Amino acid sequence: MMDAELFHHYLSEALEEKLQEGIHHAMGLGADGAEAYVSVSRSRKAKVQNGALEDLTTSKRGGLGVRVLRDGRTGIVTTTDLARKDFRELFANAWELSALGDKDPWLRQAEPAGADDLPSRFDPRTETLTSEQRIERALSLEAEARKASAKVVAVRAASWSDGVGATLLLTQRGVRSFDLGTTCAASIELAVQDGEDRQAAWHWAMGRHPEAFSLAEIGQEAAQKGERKLKPAQLPAGKYSVVLHPEVAVDLLGIVAGMLSAEAVLKQRSLFTGKLGQKIASPLLSLIDDGRLAGGLGTEPWDGEGLPTRRNVLIENGVLTTYLHTLKTAAEMGVKPTATAGRGLGSNPGITLFNLFPEAGTASPEELFRQAGNGVLITEIMGLHTVDPVSGDLSVGASGVRIRDGVLAESVDKLTFAGNLKDFLNRIVALGSDLRWYGSSAGLSILLEDIALGGA
């Protein structure tokens, strides 16, 4: 539960009072609704390169978005000047702009509901770090990577960053939804070399506090990624059993979840339009987005419209169970909202994800390799953003490791991973037990059967 005094250290009571005055002013002008969304953040970063400090920065950002509703139209005005003595003029400008927009009969606002009954997302350990400690952690990350492999010949960047962010949404209906959280992150980009072959790799991790992840594990993972790329062989074109690495699964499942936006469905721009209640994937796959997940980096008490967040099962045993809704799309489709609205300063609420993850299977990665026999472990896919959202067709580059007799062997690259997203989802034959989080999304090893791969 968020401490009010702590929250007001980052967003003052005086600012909140001024915003309430602005909302009242807009309503006095004849508005149907008035909202203020304010966001402030402070971040600090240390970056080293080959043992030398490259960058040490501190940055602050803040902004306010004002939205006024008028006869089914909206007007939005933004500012980065949070030190204003008065915000009424800003709301008046939004009121004037609201007369120019297109009318939307489905605009809705939330009623006040719920409470911040979640564990605090703010960890004071993050705020006590010194510049020297940030530099030390960045240097330590580089040292861990070099220690993990003698083939690490250069570190292009090893970084440590941390920060705190606060947001507040106020509406004329009495909604007052706020959040305050800390984050820490570390990343490394390096080069490995074996003979004349040189390859690049990187890895990262995030958490709420400085001890939330291991610098040694990040360094080891980055070094291993690089080693796996060295001296790649050519893969003959054909059909293979394919194991997707958890990091690849995160990207693939994120694409799927993005296609479940009700806004995309209403515009006929989703592969899954008209598929609600139908089987769209292997019965092994269940996909969940949970805004209240304990310890989740994406956990928040409210969504961007002020609705209490919830656990949404998007796909259950292969069946599409819901689309992701804002209040607007829920009204248009005659269903309940899913409390998955995100918000920016200068735009209307849109769909967001909080903590996206698949339900874990029971097989270890080694068991999946054995099942794959003479297949391929895909460790990297390039260009997933090019997937056609309507047809699901894709043709992207990939690289990975050859599996021979159930054991990882030589690296392979310049692969073409082509087909249809829906086909891939239905070719899942086993899921790993190795659920791994990458920020606010998690993935696991996924075994696909009979996948066409093109070699160089």
Domain limits of the chain? Answer: 4-222, 232-456
Spatial contact of 39 and 344, defined as CB atoms under 8 Å apart: no
Q: What percent of the chain has pLDDT over 70?
A: 99
Pair 120, 2: CB distance under 8 Å? yes
For 278-301, what is the mean pLDDT?
97
The pLDDT tens digits for 177-236 are 999 999 999 999 999 999 999 999 999 999 999 999 999 999 999 999 999 999 999 999
Phi, psi of 294 (to 5 degrees): -60, 125
Contact 368, 445 (CB under 8 A): yes
Strand order in the sheet with 311-316: 319-320, 311-316, 287-290, 356-358, 441-443, 436-438
CB contact burial 68-85 (16+ within 10 A = b; e otherwise): bbbeebbbbbbbeebeee
Residue of 367, 339, 374 whose CA lies nearest to 354: 339
pLDDT of res. 204: 98
Rounded-to-integer distance, Cα 140 and Cα 210, Å = 13
Burial of 104 from C-beta contacts in 10 A (0-12 / 13-18 / 19+): middle
Residue 395 identity (one-letter amino acid): S
Q: What is the DSSP string of 305-350?
A: TSPBP-EEEEEETTEE---B--HHHHHHHTS---S-EE--TTS--E
pLDDT of residue 2: 54
Residue type, position 13, single letter: E
pLDDT in tens, 291-346: 999 999 999 999 999 999 999 999 999 999 999 999 999 999 999 999 999 999 99
CA dist., res. 393 & res. 386, Å (int): 9
Would the CA dihedral through 172, 177, 178, 184 be positive or negative?
Answer: negative
Question: At residue 233, what is the residue type?
Answer: A
Neighbours of 209 (CB within 10 A): 17
**Mean pLDDT estimate for the chain:** 96
319 DSSP β-pair partners = 279, 316
Model pLDDT for residues 73-129, shown as the tens digit of each residue: 999 999 999 999 999 999 999 999 999 989 999 999 999 998 899 999 999 999 999
Cα distance between residue 293 and residue 310, in whole Å? 9
Q: How many residues does the chain have?
A: 456
Residue that has been written with the tokens 């570390």 in this structure: 186
Q: What's the longest Cα–Cα distance across the chain?
A: 74
**89 neighbors 29 (Cβ within 8 angstroms):** no
DSSP, collapsed to helix, strand or coil, labels residue 375 as coil
How many whole angstroms separate alpha carbon 195 and alpha carbon 192?
10
Q: Does domain 4-222 have CATH number 3.40.50.720?
A: no
Long-range Cβ contact pairs of 423-426 (< 8 A, separation 24 or more) = 423/392, 424/252, 424/448, 424/451, 425/256, 425/280, 425/281, 425/282, 425/285, 425/318, 426/280, 426/281, 426/282, 426/318
pLDDT band at 385, cuts 50/70/90? confident
Residue 7: per-residue pLDDT: 85
At residue 381 the predicted structure's pLDDT band, cuts being 50, 70 and 90, is very high
Closest CA to 326 of 66, 108, 37: 108
Would strands 341-342 and 350-351 be described as parallel, antiparallel, or unpaired? antiparallel
pLDDT interval class at 359 (50, 70, 90):
very high
Q: Are 229 and 199 in contact (CB under 8 A)?
A: yes
pTM across the whole model = 0.95
